[in-house]
Amino acid sequence: MHDRMASTGVRARRTGAIALQDDAVQFRVWAPNAQRVDLVLAGDRWATIPMERDHEGYFAHTEPNVAESQRYAYRLDGGDERADPCSLWQPDGVAAPSAVVRPERIARSDDGWRGVTRQDLVIYELHVGTFTPEGTFDAIIPRLRELKELGITALEIMPVNQFPGGRNWGYDGVLPYATQDTYGGPHGLARLVDAAHAHGLAVILDVVYNHFGPEHAYYREFGPYFTDKYKTPWGAATNYDGPGSDGVRDFVLDNVRMWLDEFHLDGLRLDAVHAIYDLGARHILASIKETADDVAREHGREIVIIGESDLNDPRILRAPERGGHGLDAQWSDDFHHAVHAFVTGERRGYYSEYGKPEQVARALQTPFLFAWTYSPHRQRKHGAPPDPDLTGERFVVCIQNHDQVGNRAKGDRLPTLVDHPAKQRLASSLLLLSAHVPLIFMGEEYGELRPFPFFCSFCGEELIEAVRKGRKEEFKDLVGGGEDVPDPAAVETFQSAKLSWSWPQGSTHAGLRRLYQDLLTARRTWPAMRDFASRASRLLDGDIVEYTRGGGGDGSMRAYFNLSAETRPLPRPSNDQETVAFSSEATQCGGTRDAGARPDELLPYECLVIAPASHVPPGTAGS
């Protein structure tokens, strides 16, 4: 493949506009489906230049003295101009020519950055377009300090690859290498990453390798990017194991390397890996992890690869030498479903098999509630037991995320679905005390009430209408014939999702944020909360969960979760060496329990933590 080597020694991109010495640029594109490819230089420097083809279907041309932001496109076999599939920048939108950008020339200040270990991850998922009124990378930077003070250690940014228009979740992206122009493009992303590192925050990017967006995606003209052997719910499956798949795999692995090496990202969240199909001897997921490990070793910093999967399959994390893909962590939906169904009472769809108190207890003990056990919703056995050596920090859990909120008819958030604020505090306590990596969806920490509905800004009216019809059909049995589903193409739908970013002093929002801050402090400082292996959970009297973490003595703690609407006796009060370390119903968290009281009972939906007195710093919710 004539691999180039970057100055760091890490293999550089093979395709795209690749910077060489003396301002020269090599334009290189994989287009085995074309007989001829012309490079079209646009703007003031206009030219049409035939490119040279090699035996693998790569076309290349080196041009001297190319300015930053020089526009260019490719013309295949005399057809229409197309953006570079590996474009890093589309300053005029997805349908316009690409632009030259040199990431290595962007000013950086994070040479000493070494990342965040997996055990220290507290992930904050955000959507760039709705996190601030401006909806840009630069607008996020002033909020980093508050996130750091809250206890967040990593941002997880929903996909930012170039999509049509200016409003989209990002999973309909068309150009995986290009950073969305309306967010600030590649330069804006680089500034955000640099600022996050200065605040001690890692940045994980959500990437989509299972399909391409439907509009302005011309990959079939270039090469065999797709396969008909498999199907995905969102479009044609990506070709990872069929004829011509070597070039497709290189396309994805170079993308992984680019984000981690050239843009200094600290990890990737791989969208829906259960829809990534590969029957080859070396699965693409394992190759992605190998690529990430190469960059991590070269730069001497932590890099994490997280897979989203609904398979409950330990092979995603299992080491390659034992037949697995070796990813660092994976999302575990069972925790969310068990907690959500319990606190909301919802039993529709996949929630029909969740919501029992014993499932809440088990979700604290194991990431997979279905582990080759019968699933009534699926009408078959599902999942497999996690390997014994897979400790808790290998699993990411949540009580809200973009999917579970946004894939509701109206994008309702959890505080609008529970009938008592104490249930929200209970759910948050279950999340933050769990021996897993917590993921917090933007605004969750203060009980954001504004919705997060699905929105998009496709250009073609036929596609827009198909999306509208599909959303109404999906939710026709949940709301009035689907008529109440917000129009995904309406600007108002997008605007409704903008965060309020407000927690007035003395409000329930401020109390909830205090709860998050106190428990995230506990995750950093309590010895038991640093132990991801030693944990036990059991259900007492049908509706009280007793949960212990830590190896015993001063390194242990126990929590009680009252799952009932009644006041209940505390099963085992604290002794002279212990103290109430935390209460979700403390007045500073928005509840009714006075600080300093020695409780012998649990309030309705209360979480109470008993721990050695040395655990509890002054000023926390239990002191």
- Domain locations along the chain: 16-105, 121-496, 534-615
Give pLDDT tens digits for 462-493: 888 888 888 887 776 554 445 588 999 999 99
- What's the confidence (pLDDT) of residue 479? 42
Positive/negative CA dihedral, 112, 114, 120, 124:
positive
Asked if residues 547 and 558 have their Cβ atoms less than 8 Å apart, the reply is: yes
- What's the confidence (pLDDT) of residue 471? 81
Distances in Å between the Cα of 77 and the Cα atoms of 34, 35, 38, 453, 495 are 6, 6, 8, 42, 43
Asked if residues 29 and 59 have their Cβ atoms less than 8 Å apart, the reply is: yes
* Separation CA 360–CA 461 (nearest Å): 45
- What's the confidence (pLDDT) of residue 460? 79
- What's the confidence (pLDDT) of residue 606? 97
Catalytic sites, residue numbers: 271, 308
Distances in Å between the Cα of 233 and the Cα atoms of 219, 276, 455, 461 are 19, 12, 18, 21
* Separation CA 562–CA 564 (nearest Å): 6
Token pair of 190 as six digits: 């680089």
Give pLDDT tens digits for 31-70: 999 999 999 999 888 999 999 999 999 999 999 999 999 9
Asked if residues 104 and 63 have their Cβ atoms less than 8 Å apart, the reply is: no
- What's the confidence (pLDDT) of residue 11? 55
**Alpha-helix runs per DSSP H in 304-350:** 333-344
- What's the confidence (pLDDT) of residue 452? 98
Asked if residues 223 and 33 have their Cβ atoms less than 8 Å apart, the reply is: yes
- What's the confidence (pLDDT) of residue 584? 97
Secondary-structure class of domain 16-105 per CATH: mainly beta
* Residue indicated by tokens 């403390």: 586
Segment (H or E) for 257:
helix 245-257
Give pLDDT tens digits for 498-536: 999 999 999 999 999 999 999 999 999 999 999 999 999
- What's the confidence (pLDDT) of residue 235? 83
Q: Decide if 121-496 and 534-615 have a common fold.
A: no
Segment (H or E) for 428:
helix 421-433
In 16-169 the beta strands, taken as DSSP E runs, fall at: 16-19, 25-30, 37-41, 47-50, 52-53, 58-63, 71-76, 81-82, 98-99, 123-126, 154-157, 161-162
The CATH number given to 534-615 is 2.60.40.1180
Spell out, as residue ranges, where the chain has pLDDT lower than 70: 1-11, 476-483, 595-598, 616-623
* Separation CA 447–CA 503 (nearest Å): 9
The CATH number given to 121-496 is 3.20.20.80
- What's the confidence (pLDDT) of residue 546? 98
